[in-house]
Amino acid sequence: MSTAAEWERPARSAIDPSAIAAGLISSSRSTNNGPLLQVSDLEVRFVTRDRTVHAVNGVSFDLDVGETLGIVGESGCGKSVTSLAMLGLLPRATARVPAGSVRFDGEDLLRLREDRLCQIRGRDIAMIFQDPMTSLNPVMSVGRQLTETVRTHLGYDRGQARDAAADLLDRVGIPDPRRRLREYPHQFSGGMRQRVMIAMAIACRPRLLIADEPSTALDVTIQAQILKLLRALVETEGMALMLITHDLGVVAGTCERTAVMYAGRIVEIAPTAELFARPQHPYTLGLLRSVPRLDSGHDTALAPIPGAPRDQTAALTGCAFAPRCTYATQESRERLPVLTPAPSAGAGHQVACWNPVPEADRRALTRLQGGQT
């Protein structure tokens, strides 16, 4: 069992990934020869008295040890719901998971008993929640919330847990960590609360970290430090990272592969560099076009995606993006596309579309980005 000595480090004012690699987390190996995480045909419904919301519709992906997968898409597309369903954290009163499997190191999380799932959550799989304002208990000190995690999952005594908690706060860039352990969430700024959430997530050396908008509340300097820390955890210790974000720049600099979600489905998935260079789905193209550029003139208009997100209370019968798509055909409106290898694209590039983006439009985007195909 780990001891408090593992956590004794010289004080630092910023994150030091090399120190993390030296002892903050331990190496973990999968006992399963396949991917660490396999999500297959996952469906989530929210059932109310008046209607049913089809929030997630047949999502499938896998994640290997030491790999980083980005999940992008507009609000309401099912990114966060997918991650919460994987961990059994959806409200039982309204949420239903009628189909699918989520296999973590060979075990289907959707079919585990609650006591076994509680063992995995926090220890082997950790999550950085999107809203630190509501994720921390306002009537418990930050120190108590951090020490509770390591005492429960790692068996530390009170002194060891407090040393570990102070070191975690130091690693995520919170000054005077021992004093701050005695304080409550309302005494922290929004960005510092987010850093506390990140410290809690990495406290037990998870094998899979799900980060839901981990840098939203942070200024750009701390955001860069946090992303550097997450990359160090992946690269040095083989931790898998599932990064949920709206920020395409964060994905470009962090993730090896990227999945694009729309209306509860993955519509495109590819190595990140390939996705940015050769987007195949019209929705992916729209997301890339809508990113503002610093070198654009003052009179340059933004290029938003026309229309509005789909009403998820109706079951899909065709392509969900068809009403907003420039390339839509009658087939798009009547038949539901599935993920298949993208034409004229690299290995591992899949798209769910009957009419992928024409080559001329992809080249136009590349010229706009100032790159080359």
Q: Are 43 and 312 in contact (CB under 8 A)?
A: no
**Residues 76-101, mean pLDDT to the nearest whole number:** 94
What's CA 42's distance to the chain center, in Å?
16
**Residues 40-48, mean pLDDT to the nearest whole number:** 95
Looking at residue 76, what DSSP letter applies? Answer: T
Please report the pLDDT score of residue 370 as a whole number.
Answer: 59
Using the predicted structure, report yes or no on whether residue 139 has a pLDDT greater than 80. yes
Domains of the chain as residue ranges with CATH:
4-35+65-84+112-255 (3.40.50.300), 273-291+314-369 (no CATH)
- Mean pLDDT of the residues in the chain: 85
Radius of gyration of the chain (CA): 22
The model's pLDDT over 20-36, given as tens digits with 9 standing for 90+, comes to: 333 343 334 445 567 99
Take residue 166 and report the two structure tokens written for it.
Answer: 């102070």
DSSP string computed for 5-20: GGG-----SS--HHHI
Q: Which of 60, 58, 56, 38 is nearest to 96 (CA)?
A: 56
The model's pLDDT over 177-198, given as tens digits with 9 standing for 90+, comes to: 999 999 999 999 888 888 898 8
pTM: 0.84
Q: Which residue has the tokens 């938003």?
A: 304
